[in-house]
Structure formats: structure tokens, C-alpha cells
Structure 1
């Protein structure tokens, strides 16, 4: 791993919190993510299951975590199964966890090679009443491709059909959104790396550069500082491309007079940053561009005030919509009389601001959390309003990552340039 080691007390605490939510005499099993084929004999870069990492800190393929707090044999109350290395694996793939290294990373004492899993599980599973299994229950995810958890569930239920089965995701959905101090520090590290990449880009951008050249500057800074890489596919959208919300081609020339919309964030120790900025290619906003920019910034600043403990997701987005509506009227994009007669279920501002303002952030960029639970202290949410004007070839989005605390909120990206004048000053320095 490129990142520094993480204090295993984080994972010890996470496991304790998870086990406190289990029914009596329950066993929980978590699987590592698949190694997905890319082509031929190649695989995509491995990305660990967020839930397994959250509970173990183990960042390696072919890993299984077994938790059985009430197991009559103390040896198997908390067990980690790892892929056993050999000389061939060491030559072709490099270093894998030793048992001692895994103990140090996870805080789990009882560690076996993965080949022992099906020898050990039958010896203890009959003493459990309930088995907790995990699947991807992020409500942004629509299952299309089979994965390791699903295959394991089918296998286990065929072997042990009379056990009671429960969903671990219901517990994880409540635990993961509330970040510990260590998780906040890791997210802040990702944000700071993202800041440095953005400042680097501001000094690089000029008319005639390609979007992919800017992308190269970003990943250079990420890797230079020990980030794993991009938290998600970066968006470098100049001119009309900024009106494509998930534009990732990044293959056009940046033209004099256009604005570039950036949306990128570093991943550090599996924790993610998520930032959006919009900058003038030539280092100077036109009056119209600056007016739209400042309108988005005003909406963002008002939205940030609403990100406090107790805020309800839907109510928050409705209130942000009202602020956006006012700004769009001021820009001449909406007519206040039309707005007064609009269908509340289909507000007119959605023509220019069609996405949500915030999402939870953590081990997943769109982190696992409930849309129906009030915001809590410890939540980290993005704040990302935007205005997209296709007829003007202009798209502006601004986004920072906000930590909610008991005393209000903290902008984890407050040190990243965002005022239009500051952006222009850096670009022309």
C-alpha cells in the first residue's frame, strides 16, 4: 500500500460496534471483493470491499472475516482468513500479508490461511442460530453483475438451509456514516492532496492544453503524495462538455474564453475526497461567467449552513432548490411569474440544476447511508450545487466536503481556493 499504516484500534472499535448490534448467538461473514477480469489474463486494479476494510483494515484480495462473539470455542470468535503466498506468487505479484502483519493491521489474533475456511466453518456454524451475510445495498446501485458475496450466499444456504439468515448491511448502513476521528483525519488527508493537485492545475491551465493533459497533472500530484489514485473517474470538462454531468472522455482542447469544470478527488487509505471547481481557461472570467459562478457559490454557502445534525435529507434538498430558484431568476434564466405557477413536483430550476446537492462521503465516494435518517454528528457530506446552461455552452459546479459536528459543521476543503478573484489571481501569478 502507498499510504501509511492505520492504527488498528480503528478496526477493533468498528468490529466491537458491529458485534454489539448482532443478535445473540450470531455469526457474521464478510468477503473480499472479486478480482475482476479486464481482458485475456489481466484483471482490473483490485479495490477492497469497503465493509471488509472497515472491519479489518486488510487491503488484500481473497480475504474472509468471520465474527462469532458467542462462539463456545474462544479461538473462533474473531477470525481472519488470508491468501497464503508462495514463491511463485511472490515472484509474479509481490508481497502478501504475513500472519504477523495481518495481526498488526487488523488487531485480530486468530488468523488462518483461506484454504482452512471450509475446514473450520463446519466445526462452529452449527453452534450459531443466526448467520449475518453481506451484500451491496447502496440504494444508488442496481445489481446487474454477480459478485463474490452473492455466490457465497447461494453456496452457504445450500449447505445450511435451516439456519436463520440476516443482512449485515442494515447494521453497516447505520455505523459507516458516523466517522471516527481517525476516519476524519484520513478523509482530510485525501482533501489536502486534492487541494495540492488543484493548485497545480491552476498554474498549468491555458488555452490550447488538452483535457487529458490536465488529468495527467492531477494524477501526478496524487501519486506523488501517496494517494492510491483517483477516488472516481475524474471529470475535466471544458466548454460545452461541462453540461454532461458524468463527462469523463477528457479528450478535447481547452479553448480561450471557455470555462473548465473539474470534478476530481484523491483516494487515500481507501477514504475519498470529492471536489468540484470551475475555472476560466484563459485565467479571466467574463462578466456573465462570473455572475453564474457567484450565483453557484452563493447557493453553496447557503446550503452549507443547512448541513447540521438533525437535518432531513428531502427537506434539505427542497430548501436548497428554493435558493437556486432565486439565483436563476436573478440570472434571467427563469421568470418569477412562471415559477409562481410551476408544478411543485417538477420545479423549473431542475432545467439548470438537475442533480442533488449532497451525498455522504467515506470509503465509497457515494457512501453507504440512509436517505431517510436525519444527518448526524460525524457525517461527512459533499455540498455541490451547479448551474448548467446548454445554450451558452457553460456549466459551473462547486463542491466541498463538509463534516457535521455537535457544534455545527466544518468545511474540510475550506483551504482550497474557491472565490472567483482568488482563482484568477492564482492562474495569473
Structure 2
């Protein structure tokens, strides 16, 4: 889906104080009817909100006079669902935990967008229609765009990724900790290597050592490639035996708390 309209310098002045930014969470995916894959949050949503829950969306709205509001849409508390999947923050908990201006149930996202559209005849919509992260949010956004007179939108990804280049002191400290954890874990894994070990065992060892040092998870599927398999750029099968005299190439990193 192409951007419907590109802003000119005149348009930028018109829409300068009227913006609507919608950043969805990731959705939970299932490998079978009731067994989910390991959940990975949409990193842009996580960066802006700090929320790790699926089925959520962050809306940043800005209007004239410097009035800006952050609204986090989350799943409501549900005793039955929480018995299976664990506790939900809910709308009341989200206010205190994530520091947003207001929190509303996900079911009200469409009504919120409609209300904003009625109050602002011209505004710039920031939402990534080309790479939807959450199906229900995307369905709501498609309906919203189809039913509003205002058709001006653009993906916020390039702006967010530029923003994420600048690291706070706490982010720098966390990155240093992550590097220290990964380097120590890889060093211990090297010491435990021997002829006949499998790539999968080395994968498991570096994962274990990272987690035991405080890492939340590995940052990506690691490359553990013995012998000529090291020439395969994105080798992640990690299922062969490492023979005596073979070099092992490992590319691994972690995400620290």
C-alpha cells in the first residue's frame, strides 16, 4: 500500500500541530490451537511504551497550542484468560506502570480515532499500513482511513528509527552490560567445546550462560557453524556434529533486563 499523499512544505505548515501517531504492539501467534510461539514485542511499540503485552496500541495525538496526549490501549482484565496466560495490566494498571496520560480498552480504539477525526478537520496520520504488526489494529486503521475525509498518512518508522539512534545514559549502560554478558558466555562456551560436540549443544550452552548472567533471552537465532558450514552466511540450522580440527563460527547476542 503506497502512501496516499506526500507532504509539501506548505502542507507541513498546515499539519504541523495536528498529528495522530498509531503504534501497534505485536500479536500472539500460535504453532497449534493452544500452544503459542515465543512472543516478541514490536520493538518500536516497546521503545515508546515499555509495554510487553500483545493486543495493545499506543496513540500519540498532538493538536494546536502544544497540547499532546499519550493514550495506551490495552486488553481489559479477564479472570479466565489470566488463569491461562498470566496477569494483564489492564487500563488502571497501565496508567501507573507505563506513565501514559490515559489508558483505554482496545475495543475503544476505533471510537477514539473517530472522535479525533471529528475534532480535527486536517491532521497528519502516522501509521505503517505497509507492514501491519497487529491484525485487529490494522483492520481498525483500514476502516478508519476509508471512512475519514482526511487521507494524509505516512509511516513513522523512519522517524522512530532516527530517534532510536540516540541513547540515554541508562540505555548505554544496558548495552555495555549486554556486551559483557555475551562475551563471558561465549568465552565459557569456547572452553567447554570439544571434538564430537554438536552445534545444538553449543547453542544451548551460550543461551544458558547468557540467561544465568541476567540476560532475558538471546537477541536473535544464533549462528553456530562448524567447519565449512561457517561459509553459509545465515546458517542457523545448528544441528551438525563438530569434528576434530574444525573451526566453529558463532554469532550470538543477548537482550538484557
Aligned counterpart, 1:387: none
Query: Are 1:86 and 2:74 an aligned pair?
Result: no
For residue 232 of structure 1, report the CA deviation from its aligned partner.
0.8
Per-residue CA deviation, residues 276-329 of structure 1 (Å, 9 max, x unaligned), is: xxxxxxxxxxxxxxxxxxxxxxxxxxxxxxxxxxxxxxxxxxxxxxxxxxxxxx
Aligned counterpart, 2:4: none
For residue 156 of structure 1, report the CA deviation from its aligned partner.
2.1
Structure 1 pair 254–84 and aligned structure 2 pair: CA distance change class (3 A): same
Equivalent of 2:169 in 174, 181, 200: 181
Contact 1:27–1:125 at 8 Å: present in 2 too?
no
Query: Are 1:60 and 2:48 an aligned pair?
Result: no
Quick check: which has more Rg, 1 or 2? 1
For residue 105 of structure 1, report the CA deviation from its aligned partner.
3.6
TM-score, L = length of structure 1: 0.51
Query: Are 1:96 and 2:88 an aligned pair?
Result: yes
Per-residue CA deviation, residues 204-263 of structure 1 (Å, 9 max, x unaligned), is: 101111111111111112222332311111111011110111111111111111110000
Query: Are 1:229 and 2:217 an aligned pair?
Result: yes
Structure 1 pair 227–212 and aligned structure 2 pair: CA distance change class (3 A): same
TM-score, L = length of structure 2: 0.83
Contact 2:20–2:61 at 8 Å: present in 1 too?
yes
Aligned counterpart, 1:253: 241
Equivalent of 2:111 in 104, 119, 123: 119
Distance of 2:134 and 2:106 partners within structure 1: 18
Structure 1 pair 146–49 and aligned structure 2 pair: CA distance change class (3 A): closer
For residue 161 of structure 1, report the CA deviation from its aligned partner.
4.2
| Number of residue pairs matched by the alignment | 240
* Mapping of residues 389-400 of structure 1, within 5 Å: none
Contact 1:25–1:69 at 8 Å: present in 2 too?
yes
Distance of 2:158 and 2:190 partners within structure 1: 43
Equivalent of 1:25 in 11, 18, 33: 18
Equivalent of 1:43 in 32, 36, 43: 36
Contact 2:25–2:133 at 8 Å: present in 1 too?
no
CA RMSD in angstroms, aligned pairs only: 2.5
Structure 1 pair 43–155 and aligned structure 2 pair: CA distance change class (3 A): farther
- Higher alpha-carbon deviation: 102-111 or 242-251: 102-111
Distance of 2:212 and 2:96 partners within structure 1: 26
Look up the SS of the partner of 1:222 in the other structure: helix
Unaligned runs of 5+ in 1: 1-21, 138-142, 270-429
Contact 2:210–2:254 at 8 Å: present in 1 too?
yes
Contact 2:23–2:57 at 8 Å: present in 1 too?
yes
Distance of 1:36 and 1:131 partners within structure 2: 31
* Mapping of residues 136-155 of structure 1, within 5 Å: 148=135, 150-155=138-143
For residue 155 of structure 1, report the CA deviation from its aligned partner.
2.3
Query: Are 1:265 and 2:253 an aligned pair?
Result: yes
* Mapping of residues 379-394 of structure 1, within 5 Å: none
* Mapping of residues 4-23 of structure 1, within 5 Å: 23=16
Contact 1:67–1:78 at 8 Å: present in 2 too?
yes
Contact 1:71–1:127 at 8 Å: present in 2 too?
no
Contact 1:133–1:153 at 8 Å: present in 2 too?
no
* Mapping of residues 333-372 of structure 1, within 5 Å: none
Look up the SS of the partner of 1:120 in the other structure: helix
Equivalent of 1:241 in 208, 214, 229: 229
For residue 79 of structure 1, report the CA deviation from its aligned partner.
0.9
Distance of 2:207 and 2:117 partners within structure 1: 46
